[in-house]
Structure 1
Amino acid sequence: KGIVPISCEEIFKRIEANANKNLHYEVVVSVVEIYNELVQDLLIAPEDRPKKGLDIRESKLLGIYIDGVKKVPVDSYMAIEKTIDEATENRTVGSTLMNATSSRAHTVLTIEFKQVEKVPGDKDSVKVSMINLVDLAGSEKAGQTGATGDRLKEGAAINKSLS
């Protein structure tokens, strides 16, 4: 098993093992790709996405976040896996000699985990954690891929979006 299934299964095992009736948990996921300096939501069909991509913002309350990203509530690893499968259908891929479906973009799966504790006679206590699992784009050596034209340009600029 990979890191995504192990991490997700562990989250839900711990939720199920919780015996405290005052604790409530919420888990949401989002999936984006970073391609040619643009952030795109992989849970939105390509034809429905904004051409300029999504904006990365920062606030004192939320920290760094992606404005307008679709967040899907999930209650099991199976639900996360289904969401990942949907996102995978919308990924940007290109064919090279080394890989028929080489990923041309970095993919980021964000798992947002919220714990709400009901405190009798007081405000609820809320804790939020985020896990970002990143699948980096393929960056094979140009000579080995047989890439030309757009594939060659993509390969040369593939890691530029990470900075």
Structure 2
Amino acid sequence: MTRGRWWGVAGIAVAVAVVLRLIGSDVAHALLGGMLVVVAVLILAHLGIGQKVALPRLPFDRRDGARTEVSSLSWSLYGTEGVTPQAARALRGICRAGLSEAGIAVETPEGEARSVSLLGAPLTTFLIDPDAPPPDVRAVRAAVHVLENLEKSS
């Protein structure tokens, strides 16, 4: 806790003691009431109740390419029926970007064949045809691993 918060706790403890004294408690009980507030705050601070939790930030400045987007997207990939539509759109863009960074153009016959060998036919069809159904979760995981390995090898 910060110094300002401790002063706030002390002020509240004094206020509790004063209120207890005003309503008719003797001095000893009023001071015990104020001390009870301080002890309660100490216990809560020690247990960490009410503390904010900050998740670690990804080192975006040290990463480039599709890996940053995949890391940011991974939490939102799965819905109740598999891959969500928003994740499917983003996955299509990420896969296309990752393949193009490796020099694979999915629009060409050679690039399509290379994409089939790397990602599989269903995912390649998903990349080419906008009306194709999204891949299942296993295909998404496999695609992420392939794209990460492509980035490491290039």
TM-score (norm 1): 0.24
TM-score w.r.t. structure 2 length?
A: 0.25
Q: Which is richer in helix?
A: 2
Query: Quick one: higher RCO (CA 8 Å, sep 6+), 1 or 2?
Result: 1
Pick the structure with greater CA Rg. Answer: 2
| Greater fraction strand | 1
